Each structure stands twice: as C-alpha cells, then as structure tokens.
Amino acid sequence: MGNGSTNVIQQGDFQRRIAINLERLADRDCVETLIGDWATMELPVQHADVVTCCQVIEHLTDEQLPAFVDRLFAVGRSVIITVPYQWPAGWCKYHVQDPIDLPKLDRMVGRRPSAVQIVTDGNVRRVVAAY
C-alpha cells in the first residue's frame, strides 16, 4: 500500500501481490493494482504475509493514525513501514508529522519495530521499520 513509484511490491517470492494507492500509477508485472483508500476500502483478502506501507503515515493526522495503523497489523502477519527520517517541518507541505525520529515513529505506530534501518536515498534519509 502506498507503493508509489517504488519497486518494493515486486521484491520477494509471493504468489499474489496487491498494490493499493489513492490514484492510478504505472502497472507492474504480476501486481494487482487497486485504487482506493486503504483505511476504508473493502480488501480482496483478510490477511497477507507482508504489508508494506511506504511513505504514507507521515501524511496522516494524529487522529487518523490509530485506525490506519491498526488495520495494517490486522491484515499483515509482517508489516514494513517507511517514513522520512528527521525531515524538517514544512519541507514537504503534505507531511503533517515531520520531523519523525525513532521515538516518534514508535508513538505513531504504537509499538516498537523488531528491526529498523535508516537509509539514505539521494539527499534524504528514510526509516525502514519491520514489525
């Protein structure tokens, strides 16, 4: 969900891959693409081995986060969340949670990841957290 322009959805060995985005993006081989809002749409599956949430939760208000995150963990046996790491407030006008550090991510998600890595992507840093 929120796979945007990344190829994350095509990684790994899975029988079925479903991408959910708010708007239509380029089709990807062997990926079912659904257009809709993860928080409210009816899903084609009740459970998934892995749910990825790439660069999404920084757009959500404190009020929206709990239900959204709860659904991630209700559906995914494993969940991978990526967020911008310590981007200055206002750097992206669509982000309402910046800056995000590791303690803030724990509060946003309501749990601690089993593994976390901070990666550099061009001139920006991102957190990749596995639960």
What domain range is 48 assigned to?
8-130
Is residue 1 in some structural domain? Answer: no
The SS3 assignment for 122 reads coil
pTM of this structure: 0.84
How many angstroms separate the CA atoms of 36 and 3, rounded?
Answer: 13
**Residue 73 — φ and ψ, nearest 5°?**
-80, -25
Is residue 2 in some structural domain? Answer: no
Domain count, the chain: 1
Q: Minimal CA–CA distance to 34: which of 26, 24, 47?
A: 24
Is residue 81 in some structural domain? Answer: yes
pLDDT tens across 65-117, in order?
Answer: 999 999 999 999 999 999 999 999 999 999 999 999 999 999 999 999 999 99
CATH number for position 116:
3.40.50.150
Is residue 21 in some structural domain? Answer: yes
Instruction: Give all strands (DSSP E) within 1-131, no chain letters.
Output: 18-21, 32-35, 48-54, 76-84, 115-121, 124-130
